[in-house]
Chains A and B, each alone.
Chain A
Amino acid sequence: MKSTLLAGAVLAFATATSAHAQAIKLADVAELSGGGATVGTNWKNGIDLAIEEINAKGGVLGRKLEVTHADSQSNPGVARAQVQKALDAEPYVLLGPGYSGSVKVTAPLAAEAGITQIMGGEAAELTQAGNKFLFRTSFGQQSSMPKVAKYIHDDMKAKSVAVVWVNNDFGRGGRDVVVKELDRLGSKVVADLSTEAGQADFAADVGKIKAANPDAVFVYLNEEESARILKELKRQGVAAPLMGETTLIGQKVIELAGDAANGARGHVGLTTDAPVDLVKGFRERFSKKYNYVPDHNGLKGYLAVYMVKATTEKMGKVDSKAFADALHGLTIKAADEPGILMDVTFDQNGDIDRQSFLVEVVEGKQVVKQVLPKVK
């Protein structure tokens, strides 16, 4: 009897370990608390949804996906420690973080370990450091800003532009690219205004915009500051059309700015309002599971997992070391892998090329006005 029990226990243990060895382990480090909690929570939920779907359909190459989530507390120092811990467990692929600053300090760790890192950061410099293991899930500024400048010049027909930006890595990176592009296209930058992160009072900045009397205003601030400047622009009656990025026309900004957000336009790499059936389906499944409408970070997390699936199936094997090479130059078509939602191509730097959207806020809702095609 005793030996039967023992044999049973050994068998159970063996089954458990073999099932464990079968699973493909992913590690996620994200902003689950602190200032980036909205970013990280959406990202995490996107990941969990994708894994649930993939596992329900039999996993990747017959193996289930498993993920561990760690909290960076929106702090680059904590992110670094958490990534190191995650890498020590030798994951197949590292997912996250979402903040560019946290990506910047963790990317060298993943590269050193030879583990591919699929992240949510958008700062231009991230993919320009020659890191062969880093991949984006959304546009970097060097891909999105030329599209923005082109729209301001071609569609808004603005000959003079005021550029307002936030004085940090994110703001300065975007400002540099957009000013260069506007200059190249022949739109004159008549006001170049730097503002501070966390700034509460925009009366003087808006006063300067008013004095410069531009044909269009490009606003590149974080969400809360975007809402404040939108209110001030309305308060001082600035009539010039407003153009920005995701941070100008996001759901949070619309909620904070109210009426003042109406009419603002923005270039959006990823939006759950995209007129694409697969994206609509994602939005529906996500909202059903989590009881709220995801933002673009939810899409990023979801796409990250499907990037892992598509690349692994393309290789035909689970090989952590060969993963990055396989993803460089890869085009994943939504027709072959519906989870990728839209056709996407990865270049040698880990940057992506994908169609994007021009969104306008109409009566407090994001409305996609135009689909901007893939560059290549």
Chain B
Amino acid sequence: MSNMFDLLVAGLATGAIYALVAVGFTLLWQTSQTINFAQGEFVMLPAFLMLAAMHVGAPFWLAIILGILLSMILLGLAFKLLLVDPMMRHGVLPLAIATMALAIGIKEAVKQFFSAEASPFPSIVPTGDISILGHAVSLQSIGVLVVAILAVVGLTTLLNRTSLGHQMQAAAQNPTVARIIGVPVERMILLTFLINAFLVALASLLITPIYLAKFSSGEVLGQAAFIAAIVGGFNQVRGAIAGGLLIGVLDNLAASYVSTQYRAAVPLIFLIVVILFRPQGLLGRAEERTV
């Protein structure tokens, strides 16, 4: 039973990170119909930007700020202006393929400029345990959960409680009408790209101390977040959050109770079941779209 509790906590911590990445996924889809297959690499890159900043002498806190800012410029602004905007007019599919190419490009560039070997990455949360209901729970797991929850709460507050958030939702739901009533749709779309870049940089900061900084570490994350987004509902932020947590827990339980070899298959099987019986995702709403 104690094992079960540990697995749940570890699963929730990993799941919270998946959720951050999945939320970004759904945001991009809602506002610009971008399916970003480079999302995993987007999580891998900020850690290397932070490492680079530390390498030239910046203290860790400054490296975090620089890393997040650089990520927002590269993975938010430049990604939208240089890749999404020119490809978008050719449709969803060419853009999706272009993001796959981008994923390969980012991976190879990191391998080229840093190394193919893994690098250590400092943790923002100190190591150690605290006791919860008689179980020792690591501060790192709790730290990851807390930061991820804060980010998600902040995002939902922004989306639901502020005028800016309402404009973003309007731009996502019906850009034509939004434009008519004076919402700066283009700026709102750019904002979602910046938010996505911020979320992946945050995820990078949280996951890299555990997974190590390595050029290939985005592959697993990207896939998990993609599955989480579909399972939860591709068009709902809360769906992506639920999907992320669910996949994190499911992955850990599968590794423990099924087998390490088949752990990667279990979320995929779950995905198929969801698609068969609830194609809009657990919390998603059915939508019809003419593409």
Contact = CB atoms under 8 A, between A and B. Distances in A.
30 contacts: A34-B116, A35-B116, A200-B217, A200-B220, A201-B14, A201-B252, A203-B6, A203-B7, A204-B7, A204-B10, A204-B252, A204-B254, A207-B3, A207-B256, A208-B3, A208-B256, A210-B3, A231-B210, A235-B140, A235-B141, A236-B6, A236-B138, A237-B129, A237-B136, A255-B120, A256-B118, A256-B119, A258-B120, A259-B127, A260-B127
**Which of A207, A210, A237, A260 gathers most chain B CB within 10 Å?**
A207
A234 B118 contact: no
A198 B216 CA distance: 9
A204 B255 contact: yes
Given A196-B260, A200-B211, A260-B127, 14 more contacts: A38-B117, A196-B261, A198-B216, A200-B217, A201-B255, A203-B7, A203-B10, A205-B255, A208-B256, A236-B10, A236-B138, A237-B138, A256-B212, A258-B120
B39 to A, nearest CB: 16
Interface in A192-220: 193-196, 198-201, 203-205, 207-208, 210-211
A199 B220 CA distance: 9
Interface residues of A, number: 36
Contacts of B3: 207-208, 210-211
Interface string B97-135: 000000000000000000011111000000101000000
Interface of A: 34-35, 37-38, 167, 193-196, 198-201, 203-205, 207-208, 210-211, 224, 227-228, 231-232, 234-237, 252, 255-260
**Which of A193, A198, A203 gathers most chain B CB within 10 Å?**
A203
A361 to B, nearest CB: 15
Interface string B173-217: 000000000000000000000000000000000000111101011
Identify whether the interface residues of A are mostly helix, strand, loop, or mixed.
Answer: helix
Nearest to A234: B127
B251 interface: yes
Given A201-B211, A211-B3, A255-B120, A235 B127 contact: yes
Nearest to A196: B260
Nearest to A33: B116
Contacts of A259: 127
A126 to B, nearest CB: 25
Given A235-B138, A237-B129, A201 B116 contact: no
A259 B251 CA distance: 27
Nearest to B258: A204
- Number of chain B interface residues as a range: 35 or more
Interface string B216-254: 110010000000000000000000000000000001111
A215 B72 CA distance: 49
Contacts of A207: 3, 6-7, 10, 252, 256
A196 B219 CA distance: 15
Interface string B1-34: 0110011001100100000000000000000000
B278 interface: no
A368 to B, nearest CB: 24
Contacts of A232: 210
A211 B141 CA distance: 19
A104 to B, nearest CB: 22
B217 A203 contact: no
A194 B119 CA distance: 24
B225 to A, nearest CB: 14
B11 A203 contact: yes
A204 B256 contact: yes
A323 to B, nearest CB: 36
A194 to B, nearest CB: 6
Contacts of B14: 201, 203
Contacts of B260: 167, 193-196, 199, 204-205
Contacts of B253: 204
B261 A194 contact: yes
For the complex of A and B, list the 6 residue pairs with the smallest distance between their C-beta atoms, beginning with the closest. Answer: A204-B255, A203-B10, A204-B256, A211-B3, A200-B211, A235-B138
B210 A252 contact: no
Contacts of A236: 6, 10, 138
Contacts of B129: 237
A162 to B, nearest CB: 13
A210 B6 contact: yes
Contacts of A224: 117-118, 212, 214
B255 A227 contact: no
A203 B250 CA distance: 12
Given A201-B251, A208-B256, A235-B140, A227 B212 contact: yes
A295 to B, nearest CB: 13
A256 B122 CA distance: 10
Nearest to B7: A207
Contacts of B210: 200-201, 228, 231-232, 235
Nearest to B253: A204
Contacts of A235: 127, 138, 140-141, 210
Contacts of B116: 34-35, 37
Nearest to B213: A256
Contacts of B6: 203, 207, 210, 236
A149 B116 CA distance: 33
A292 to B, nearest CB: 14
Given A196-B261, A211-B3, A252-B117, A203 B212 contact: no
Contacts of A199: 260
A323 B162 CA distance: 82
Contacts of B11: 203
B263 to A, nearest CB: 7
